[in-house]
Amino acid sequence: MKKTVTKIGVLTSGGDAPGMNAAVRAVVRTGIYHGLEVFGIMRGYTGMVENDIFKMEGRSVANIIQRGGTILKTSRCKEFLTPEGRKKAYGNLKKLGIDGLVIIGGDGSFRGAQTFSNEYDIPCVGLPGTIDKDIAGTDFTIGFDTAVNTAVEAIDKIRDTADAHDRLFIIEVMGRDAGYIALHSGIATGAENILIPERKTDIEEVIKQLAEKERRHKLVNLIVVAEGDDFGGADEVAKIITQRLPMQEVRVCILGHIQRGGSPSCFDRLIASRMGYSAVECLLEGRHNVFVGMVNNRMHYTPLNEAVKKKQRISEEWMKIVKILAS
């Protein structure tokens, strides 16, 4: 028999992503529409452990859909990783009568939700809020589109100065374990090389290509590197290129946390709103312990225990496109 949900909590966990506020807004307003009480949990699982929880109304989420970051704040909570911490968190939820949770975050957040739900029978629904797009079971994650567009805008500007000075720019984007930001922004800006964690970097091949372009007097080059590239990121790549090709004028630009911030794109606002709405519908329908994704523009539901085991894979076709278009 499915468990009836009457009070739900919503939290944002892990790294912030543009569009998280749109998702929170959708959860709150959909919950209220269905007659549920909705509680905001501050600073992710830390708020559950420390009882930093407050009741939300429709006006609590007014004028936030266009804001980056998250009004609920976020953090990584070591105490929640312990049985004692989770027990304390459950006690705080129990006092308020919260009997369902919506967790907006990445795979680490989903692992926490899965463990907690298994121990205490609290239904959980996850929403993929991460700029890295590294969760299997969804074509897009909340924040990815905004982050990529931020990177593209920055790289376009860098290409202007690269062209003015005939320089090689090595641009590092976020992506510790996944190269989607590097891949998408690199293709969109015409990068000559894209280095990602999913593929072992053949630095000799990179140098060979640059040497050939130097011979042809093609001196303006862009290399986009994901921070988790196995060679060590932009600085290490620049170091060896400078040693091997001393005639190249090399500059490094690390985009860093600007990719996390800023007003979410229209696309991120739309998918966050759809996912937030669907999360509440899942809890009401008894479809628990899943994360809500989007595949072929349809809502797609993946069990949490599967979501934490799988990663998105970059297809060989993408890498072939990179090679052909950069030649």
Contact in structure between 140 and 271 (CB atoms under 8 Å)? yes
* CA dist., res. 40 & res. 45, Å (int): 11
Asked if residues 273 and 23 have their Cβ atoms less than 8 Å apart, the reply is yes
Q: Which residues make up the CATH 3.40.50.450 domain(s) of the chain?
A: 7-143+264-307
Q: pLDDT for 123-145, tens place per residue?
A: 999 999 999 998 888 999 999 99
Q: What is the pLDDT, as a whole number, of residue 12? A: 97
Secondary structure element (H or E) that encloses residue 298, with its range: strand 298-303
Catalytic residue IDs = 132
The two three-digit tokens of residue 291, written as one number: 């994360």
Residues in the chain: 327
Nearest C-alpha neighbor of 133 from the set 76, 171, 178, 174? 178
- Taking the alpha carbons at both ends of the chain, their separation in whole angstroms is 60
pLDDT value of residue 310: 62
CATH number of 7-143+264-307: 3.40.50.450
pTM: 0.92
For residues 105 and 138, is the Cβ–Cβ distance under 8 A? no
Q: Which helix (H) or strand (E) holds 53?
A: strand 53-56
Q: How confident is the model at residue 1 (pLDDT cuts 50, 70, 90)?
A: very low
The token pair at 219 is 């001196």
Could you tell me where in the chain the CATH 3.40.50.460 domains are found?
Answer: 145-260
* Homologous superfamily of domain range 145-260: Phosphofructokinase domain (3.40.50.460)
Q: How do beta strands 124-128 and 100-105 pair? A: parallel
Pick 265 or 165 by higher pLDDT. 265
Pairing of strands 7-12, 37-41: parallel
Partner residues linked to 100 by β-bridges? 8
Per-residue pLDDT reduced to its tens digit, 60-79:
999 999 999 999 999 888 99
